[in-house]
Amino acid sequence: MPSPTASSLAPAGAITDVAGIEAGHFTDTRRPTGCTVILARDGAVAGVDVRGAAPGTRETDLLSPTNLVDRVHAVMLAGGSAWGLDAASGAMRWLEEQGIGLQVGPGRIPIVPAAVLFDLYLGDTAIRPDAAAGHAACAAASGDAPEEGSVGAGTGAIVGKIYGVERAMKGGVGTASLRVGGITVGALVACNALGDVIDPDTGRVLAGARLDDGRTLMDTRRALLAGQPPKRLVAAANTSIGVVATDAVLTKAQAARLATVAHDGFARSINPAHTMFDGDTLFALGTGASGQPAEMMLLATMAAEAVARATVRAVQAARGITVDGVHIPSLSDLA
H or E segment to which residue 34 belongs = strand 33-50
Confidence at residue 181, expressed as pLDDT on a 0 to 100 scale? 92
* pLDDT for the residue numbered 1: 33
SS3 159: strand
Using CA atoms, how far apart are residues 182 and 2, in angstroms rounded to an integer? 36
Note the Cα 27 to chain centre separation in Å: 15
List, in sequence order, the alpha helices (H) in 98-212. Answer: 131-139
CB-based burial, 70-100: b 16+ in 10 Å, e otherwise: bbbbbbbbbbbbebbbbbbbbbbbbbeeeeb
Asked if the bond preceding 272 is cis, omega within 30° of 0, the reply is yes
Q: What is the pLDDT of residue 75?
A: 98
Neighbours of 196 (CB within 10 A): 28
Tell me how far apart the alpha carbons of residues 127 and 49 are, in angstroms, rounded to a whole number: 29
Alpha-carbon span 305 to 308, nearest angstrom:
5
Alpha carbon separation from 31 to 37, 112, 125, 321, 328 (Å, rounded): 19, 25, 8, 11, 14
* 88, 114 contact by CB (below 8 A): yes
pLDDT value, residue 106: 85
Domains, the chain, in order of start with CATH, read 15-323 (3.60.70.12)
Q: State the pLDDT at residue 117.
A: 97
In this prediction, the residues of the chain whose per-residue pLDDT falls under 50 are 1-9
pLDDT at 249: 97
Angle between helices 87-97 and 131-139 (to 10 degrees): 50
Q: Beta partners for 184?
A: 179
